[in-house]
Amino acid sequence: MRRLVGRPTTVRARIVALVSAPALALLALWTFTMVSVTGELRALVRLQGVYEDFGTPVDTAIGQIQIERRLAAAYLGAEHRTPATRDLMEQQRRTDRAVKAMRDAIRDGDRDRLTGRQRQALDAVVAAAGELEGLRQRVLSRAISWDRAVEEYGALVEPGFGVQSALTALQAGQLAREAQVVVELVRVREFVSREDALVAGAHAAGRLTDRQYDTLTATIEHRRVFERTYVPDLPSDSRALFEEFQRGELHGALTRSEDALLRAGPERAGAAVAAVSWRTTTDRAVTRYMELCTRAALNSAERGRAFARQELIEAAVVGGLGLAVMGLSLGWAVRGARRISRRLELLRDSADLLTTRQLPDVMARLSAGEEVNAAAEAPPLADAEAEPDEIGQVGRSFNAARLAAVEAAVRQATLRRGLFAVLLSIARRNQTLVHRQLKLVDTLERRTDDPEALEQLFRIDHLTTRMRRHAENLIILSGAAPGRRWRRPVPVADVVSSAVSEIEDYARVEVPPMDRVGIAADAVADVVHLVAELLENATVFSPPHTRVTLRTGRERGGFVLRIDDRGPGLGSGPLHQAHRTLGHPDDFDPSRHDRLGLYVVGRLAARHAIEVTLHESPYGGTTAAVLLPGGALADLEAEDPEGPEVPEETEGVSSLPCLP
């Protein structure tokens, strides 16, 4: 399955990711909660500014509409009196200016500070103000009665109380109750203004109908009930202001005038109070009620801000603690992930050390014949076994596996040494028998004069020589040296001739004339064997009808011998493997039986620092170049009149002639 893009690739990253996911979810939840909780609190802090920007223009406009209502009632009740018309028109202009200022404040103010409910309340006030012009046209054309005009003006004023309620609706608990009380007391001002409008109509008309009088008395009772009900619910500071007003002369004058109206009845209501004193009293009362309500609202807003600040501080403390807890959790997770990662990295590094250094070093030492203590070479990882968790269990399993691997390598090396010892013993015995056979054949050759019998004896001698080389191959691969030794240097021509005589198709090999160069005594046997192996490969891997040629010469302070065949040659891959075998003959792999000759050549070359390379032959096959260094060469002594030297354990250096 294809790995996902961006997926963590290390254990540490995965652990941190596992912990980060819920931590980030908690952080998102914490952020949402803090924004939700502190949103209204921050709105409480901004309450006074919001009220001044939006509430004050609305209050001013409502006050002017209330005054226009009174003058409209007076105009409609007085039939066609010019002063009433002039007063109404002037008030309408003042009302228009206040309404325009209210609309500008609502349109151009920072509405982002408002809630949805507050925006709706302000839009409702603006919409109600839009109906003012239609009402005015009916008033000026006297298409409406004065008491009906009072009701419709009241309907235009009513949305203003919704604004008051919406602007203070952010508070909760006792603060919410206080804000609602202030809103209800604002209605007291509306009741006084409505009383003023009804009395103005009564003055203009001279009397009230029963229905109009019932409206007036209900308005007076509503004012008194609201005041008796909600003033006691105010906090002490705001309640003291209202109680002081209730004890004053202005409130007493208002109450006495209302009592006179209640006693007069509908017929005498227009004459129950003097027009001038009534208007003076109501104007001052409306203004005073507006001041008291504004002061109470500001007191409530200040308590709301204090409450909001306290709650914000508590929310900040709680939020900070929450962030600290999440930070500690994430830090603990990262620390735990780092610790787990370090333990896993220790296991990984130990595994790498085992595979890249310990086992190869143990194998090399075992191959060199050293004794190896498995327990000392594979010490346990103390840190890996310290914890009883799964990583500790993996560490203990790894320690056991490492010890088992080293012990297996020791056993394998011991078995291999034993096998090589057996092979060496068998090879030595075969070598002894072959030497005895060669001596016997040599004796028979000396005693016979029959050409036909002599030819058969030569063939037996040739086969025995090849048998001796194969026996020596086992000795060389077992790590030992063949038993043949020379006491004096031997000419290179004799060495090459001896090598040619040890292969099956010796007749296919062309040996050119060679310089008089001597091979050191201790290298003669190995050079003969090395060249014979290369010549054997050249004849075996080339067509039987082709020739194998030799070229010689001096190069780089030594003597080079090149063997050219006309076979198919080697590709780059096999050529690389062949050079690797020649360069690392100690990495003998018995399963690669097709390269036994190259292993033998590599080991023989390594003994005397002989350089053997393979490359493409000029004839299309392969050329094996053997560079004999100066250490493998020696000066030849004068020719011994008694004949060539014979090696120890052999009858002589066979020199079979090569057919042209």
Dist CA 99 CA 92 (whole Å): 10
Which long-range CB contacts under 8 A does 163-167 form with residues at least 24 apart? Answer: 163/54, 163/55, 163/58, 163/118, 163/121, 163/122, 163/124, 163/125, 164/55, 164/297, 165/121, 166/115, 166/117, 166/118, 166/120, 166/121, 166/122, 167/47, 167/50, 167/51, 167/54, 167/55, 167/118, 167/121
Pair 72, 83 in one domain: yes
Give the per-residue pLDDT at 629.
Answer: 92
Is residue 160 domain-resident? yes
Taking only the tens place, the pLDDT of each residue in 568-626 is: 888 888 888 888 878 877 666 665 555 677 878 888 888 888 999 998 888 888 999 99
Pair 652, 535 in one domain: yes
Considering 483, 504, 529, which residue would you say is the last residue of a domain? 483
Pair 515, 658 in one domain: yes
44-48, 291-295, 497-501: segment of lowest average pLDDT: 44-48
Q: Is the pLDDT reported for residue 628 higher than 60? A: yes
Are the C-beta atoms of 466 and 504 separated by less than 8 Å? yes
Residue 613: beta bridge partners? 625
Dist CA 521 CA 634 (whole Å): 8
Pair 552, 427 in one domain: no
State the chain's maximal CA–CA distance in angstroms.
182
Pair 508, 632 in one domain: yes
| Pairwise pLDDT comparison (91 vs 310), residue with the higher score | 91
Pair 398, 513 in one domain: no
What is the sign, positive or negative, of the torsion defined by CA atoms of 339, 341, 343, 346? negative
Write the CATH number for 580: 3.30.565.10
Rounded mean pLDDT, 228-254: 86
Q: What band does 161 get if pLDDT is binned at 50, 70 and 90?
A: confident
Write the CATH number for 104: 1.20.120
Q: Is the pLDDT reported for residue 300 higher than 80? A: no
Is residue 355 domain-resident? no
Which two three-digit tokens encode residue 202? 């009564």
Give the per-residue pLDDT at 126.
Answer: 87
52-66, 209-223, 324-338: segment of lowest average pLDDT: 324-338
Which two three-digit tokens encode residue 54? 């939006």
200-204, 220-224, 650-654: segment of lowest average pLDDT: 650-654
Q: Is the pLDDT reported for residue 303 higher than 80? A: no
Taking only the tens place, the pLDDT of each residue in 352-404 is: 777 777 777 777 776 666 777 766 666 666 555 556 677 677 777 777 777 77
Q: What band does 562 get if pLDDT is binned at 50, 70 and 90?
A: very high
Is residue 509 domain-resident? yes
Pair 515, 450 in one domain: no
Number of domains within the chain = 3
Pair 467, 574 in one domain: no
Rounded mean pLDDT, 422-445: 75
Is residue 280 domain-resident? no
Is residue 650 domain-resident? yes
Considering 431, 457, 483, which residue would you say is the last residue of a domain? 483
Which range of residues forms the domain containing residue 627?
A: 486-660
Pair 475, 615 in one domain: no
Pair 398, 538 in one domain: no
652 in helix, strand or coil? coil
Are the C-beta atoms of 352 and 301 separated by less than 8 Å? no
Which two three-digit tokens encode residue 104? 């500008």
Amino acid at 222: H
Considering 146, 170, 194, which residue would you say is the last residue of a domain? 170
Percent of the chain whose pLDDT exceeds 90:
5
633 in helix, strand or coil? strand
Taking only the tens place, the pLDDT of each residue in 479-526 is: 676 767 788 899 999 999 988 888 888 888 998 998 888 999 888 988
Is residue 266 domain-resident? no
Pair 402, 549 in one domain: no
Q: Is the pLDDT reported for residue 464 higher than 70? A: yes
Pair 149, 69 in one domain: yes
Q: What band does 643 get if pLDDT is binned at 50, 70 and 90?
A: very low
Taking only the tens place, the pLDDT of each residue in 564-583 is: 998 888 888 888 888 887 88
614 in helix, strand or coil? strand
Q: Is the pLDDT reported for residue 309 higher than 80? A: no
Residue 260, classified by CB atoms within 10 Å of its CB into exposed (0-12), middle (13-18) or buried (19+), is middle
Which two three-digit tokens encode residue 118? 């507050």
